[in-house]
Amino acid sequence: MNIQWYPGHMTKAKRAMQEDIKLIDLIIELVDARAPLSSRNPDIDDLGRGKARMVLLNKADLASEAGNAAWTRYFEAKGFQVMKIDARQKASLKQIHSVIQEACKEKIERDRRRGILNRPVRAMVAGIPNVGKSTFINSFAGKAAAKTGNKPGVTKGNQWIRLNKQVELLDTPGILWPKFEDQSVGLKLAFLGSINDEILNKDELAAELCAFLLKAYPGLLAERYGIPEDRSPHELLEQIAIARSCLLKGGGYDVPRAARLLLEDFRSGKLGRITLEFPE
C-alpha cells in the first residue's frame, strides 16, 4: 500500500511552527499513545531546541496499559516530562500544572536569578493532525478561552489564553506534519485514522490491520467477532462480513462494509486497548 503526504503542507506548517516557537518557553507535545513514534515528528527536537519540553501520551484510554508504561519510561529516559492523558477528560489533566512547573524548572530558576519573579510560562501545544490538540486545549483552557479568537473585533494572529498566574497558552496549536520514514509508519497512521481516508483503499487497510492483529494480538478477532483466525487477512474480512451480516442487495457479502466496521471498531476502542508499536 502506498501512502502519500503533501509537501506543500509541510513547508507551510514548518514555517508557522518556527515563528510561534520564538514566542514560547514550553512545548506541550501531543502524541497518540497507540503509536507514539509514528505519530510524532522528530524534527520538533530541532525546532524546539532550548525550550522546555513535555510529552503528552494522548488517547491513553485507547492504548494498552503495558504500552503506556513502556512509552512513559521511553520519553522520560529522553529527559521529557511525560503524562498519559485522555484529553476529553478534564480529570486526567489534574497533575498537569505541577508537571509544567517541573518541565520549566530551569527557566523559572534562571528568571529568579535575574530578579524576574512570577513571569508566567508561555506554552504552546503541538502535534500532528488528529492527535487531539484542539480537544486538549478545550479541556485544559476551557471552552470560553478557546473561543477568544472567534469573537468579533478580536484581531487575528497570536492570542494568549491566561490559564493562571503561572501559565499562558498560545490559543492556536502548532501543527506538525507526520514523518513517513517508512511505509509501516504511514500504515499505523492510517489505522489510527490520522491520514485522509479518502485517498486510501479501505479494504487493503483493513486487511493490513487484520494481519497486524493476528500477529500482535492473537485471539482478539476471534473473541470480538466469533470467527476462526486460521485464515488469510482477506478471508478474515469476509468472515467478519458473514459474522456481522454485512449483506449485499443482490446476494453475497459486503466485504467493504466489514472493512469499514473493523477500522471503526479499532479506532473507537471497541476492539479493546491496542498499542500498535513498542519502544525497541
Using rule CB under 6 A, residue 273 touches ligand G4P: no
Bridge pairing between strands 174-175 and 121-127 = parallel
Identity of the residue, 133 or 236, whose beta carbon is nearer to ligand G4P in the bound complex: 133
Residues 6+ apart with CB under 8 A from 111: 117, 119
Among 36, 48, 67, 132, binds ligand G4P (CB under 6 A): 132
Task: Give the residue at shortest CB distance from ligand G4P.
Answer: 132
Among the listed ranges 48-56, 68-76, 82-90, 253-261, the one in contact with ligand G4P (CB under 6 A) is: 82-90
Using rule CB under 6 A, residue 178 touches ligand G4P: no
- CA 144 – CA 232 distance, rounded (Å): 51
Among 86, 168, 238, 277, binds ligand G4P (CB under 6 A): 86
- CA 87 – CA 3 distance, rounded (Å): 28
Using rule CB under 6 A, residue 133 touches ligand G4P: yes
Using rule CB under 6 A, residue 72 touches ligand G4P: no
Per-residue cell: 226: 466469533
Bridge pairing between strands 167-170 and 160-162 = antiparallel
Using rule CB under 6 A, residue 201 touches ligand G4P: no
- CA 75 – CA 143 distance, rounded (Å): 30
Q: Is 110 exposed, middle or buried (0-12, 13-18, 19+ CB in 10 A)?
A: exposed
Least distance in Å: CB of 30 to ligand G4P?
Answer: 7
Least distance in Å: CB of 252 to ligand G4P?
Answer: 31
CA 29: distance to chain centroid? Answer: 9
Size of the site for ligand G4P (CB under 6 A): 15
Using rule CB under 6 A, residue 96 touches ligand G4P: no
User: Which residues is 161 bridged to in the sheet?
Assistant: 169
Interaction site with ligand G4P (CB under 6 A): 58-59, 61-62, 86-88, 127, 129-135
